[in-house]
Structure 1
Amino acid sequence: MISFKMSEEQRGYIHSVRQLAQQEIAPLALQMDEDSENFNWHYINILARENLIAPIIPVEFGGRGLDYLTIAMIVEEIAAACAGLAAAAVGTMHAVLPLLIGGTAEQKQEFLPGLTSQKPALASFALTEPQGGSDIESNHTIATYMGDRIILNGLKDYVINGAVAQFVTVCAKSNTTGKRAFQFFIVPANKIKVNMIRNTMGIRYVNTAQLAMENVALENRYALGQRDSGYLLLTQTLDIGRTLIAAIEVGIARAAFQLVLDYSRDREQFGRPIFSNQGISFPLASMATSIEAARLMVWRACDLIDKEEDFTQASSMAKMYASEVAQNVTTGAIDIIGAAAYDTGHIANVYFRDAKVCGIVGGTNNIQKMIISSLL
């Protein structure tokens, strides 16, 4: 059972990351949202300096080698300052997961250290396609084996870090086998064409792109695992990834809640703070309760992952509930703050848009309900 008390090591991480996030990232969050057309490496460098882009990477490859529970705590802190920056880090960790789970020692040594240096570097996880959406079994990216070469052809969309990644972890299918005949490939960025950069509603700092592979030739060493054996690896990767996205959603909700709580205590109407009105304080009480519940669900899912127990249902529950909480809290924050929050230059507006997009990334709530109900 997960302890409700952080370890001293976790407290140390949270203290240092919160200080970093609130002092160096949060003051820039509006600017990061507004200046999304050109990806600015300065902000990623803040995380790279502390080796926080992919703390999931083992110490032997230059990373921090942290457990998932501690990583979720760190992700929440970064997301409370800027969800887009947290998404860039989680997107990199998502790309690394198939390599950590299914890669050889040689593959890990080749690709992981580049993500742990103080020179900032990112990676991408490419699964979604323009036509398939949540129907991953309709994947049309094809891997054709030709002697000692693999030829990739296909189109991937809404790829986080897509145009700025060092490498892209691509999910493809064999051209001769069944629906679930997946395999992952590590594709160097210089082999992939960037079709477009998406102008997204939320998490606008993170680069989101459509990528094309046209007769991309790879050596066999770029393939993870055995041919057509990647379906289990895919589901494991998605389950872990959605748990970390849920941590982003908790961070967004926390930031929006703190914003509106402070506002309600400072704003006076009829000679007293609006917080003294139960019409304001009671919704805030519900917000605080739901955020705490969402956080505990994320922690439980991470605890199961760390213990190598079955975590699929817990991960989907955490993702679904954290998504609902983030959207409810950010909507409530705008309702309480009022007209000013409808301006796109208001941070409450940023939180609202970030929460909506994070509810889609990693699978919509209906997808999570499909997974949860299938395991009841």
Structure 2
Amino acid sequence: MDALGVVVNPIAGMGGRVGLKGTDGKVDAARERGAEPRSPERARAALRSLRDREPDCTVYTAAGVMGERAARGVGFEPVVVYDPADDHPGEPARPDDPADAGTTADDTRRAVRALLEREVDLVLFVGGDGTAVDVAETIEEANETDEERTPVPVLGVPAGVKIYSSVFAVTPEDAGRIAAEFDRVGSREVNDIDEEAYREGEVRAELRAVVPVPVADDVQSSKQLASGSVDSLATGFAREIEPGRTYVFGPGSTVGAIEEALGLEPSPLGVDVWRVDTDGDGTDGTLLARDAAEEELLDVLEEPATIVVSPIGGQGFVFGRGNHQLSPPVIRRADELEVVASAEKLDGIDALHVDTDDPDLDEELRGWIRVRTGRFTTRLVKVA
């Protein structure tokens, strides 16, 4: 690849660990809760992986935190084709904190248009589904204006809270490798959901675009919502609750069914913490936190503790998609991990994945894991 276009959404993913389930319109609230930007480091990881393989690639990008800083940070000398400061005269031109950049979706779209003018071979973007929509729709508009234009492929570096689209690499490092090595593309879907509805526990997904994406094993599939009864799984789990243990219940309907079997009211897309009484039959306990952010989880989490999660259907992510509150410090605080999923859901997943922002922890979690699929049944599945 001769020319790569890079655009970074500097605030993507800030709402995840602090329990906001997204950052659209919530930057100030995220910062008040102590959120830190995660996209700059993920951009550097992807570009470092690319540079290891294609050190002579020309990188075109936007100024400052929208790509230039990450590219320079790993040794590239990027060509800046768009500067958001030109459109935000009241904002700092080169803020130290990416959250201070004041960039918007319009800046992403302007940056992509500038990249297309340079006829880049690939647009590598860092963000979530909202960023994917901005990139894809800008490219589609350019194609409609010039019907002879060859559609430019795109590839996402996952950094947002919501990752429902099938245009993202599994990890930032995979994105850099794919960008350096791909030789063909295929059509993939860009989906987005209503964040306000998502925060209320309702998923409203919408197909927004279809774009060319590099063909590779490490491009994730779109999220699918698995159906089918998980009653037997929930019943079996509830029968084995251990008195005196703390349970951290991740998002999703499968884990929610377990909470309901225990008499709890789950927060469908949040993280709940329940500690079982040391006496009694194991069904009585105290709800310590509901829809908790990372900080609250760390405040109430005590060993012995079990984290209960279910992989995203179709994608297979156990950590790193929609449950950023379960951060590396939270995961390390627990002494037990329980993965639960219906057999139907596992049938559509080749392997499980983790993407915690901590490479050492990801490596520790990889390997074979026993997934509970029913009241008495389990299945060995590899975490790749």
Please, what TM-score do these two structures have when normalized by structure 2? Answer: 0.26
Tell me which of the two structures has the higher relative contact order, counting C-alpha pairs closer than 8 angstroms and 6 or more residues apart.
1
Greater strand proportion: 2
Higher helix share: 1
Scaled by the length of structure 1, what TM-score is found? 0.27
